[in-house]
Amino acid sequence: MFKVWGKIIIDNKITNSIDLEDISDMNFEDKRIKAFNDICYAFDLSVPVWLDKHTKEFISFKRVTFYPEDFVENVSFDKLVIDLISSDEKK
């Protein structure tokens, strides 16, 4: 099972969050992309730019943080954080 937790944070407080689970047979990267897009859709956000630094963060720390400058459109929060809660993938 692949499970992520997406949070919108304003002034160090979680103002909105969503949990997503994926039990499909997709590979880890496809599940990550789908969950990322689903979180942005649920929060009614444009998809921010995903850079190599975000991939390294997600793999190393099981967390990725997006700031307003990562988005093309203006956003009204301090950061979007996505945590990897669980994954079947072996490293």
SS3 readout for 12-73: CEEEEEEEEEECCCCCHHHHHHHHHHHHHHHCCCCCCCCCHHHHHHHHHHCEEEECHHHCCC
Domain residue spans of the chain = 2-86
Q: What percentage of the chain carries pLDDT values higher than 90?
A: 89
Is residue 10's pLDDT more than 80?
yes
Q: Residues 53-70: pLDDT tens digits?
A: 999 999 999 999 999 999
Q: What's the whole-number mean pLDDT along residues 28-42?
A: 94
Spatial contact of 85 and 64, defined as CB atoms under 8 Å apart: no
pTM of the model: 0.89
Q: What is the pLDDT of residue 6?
A: 97
Task: Categorize the per-residue pLDDT at 4 as very low, low, confident or very high, splitting at 50, 70 and 90.
Answer: very high
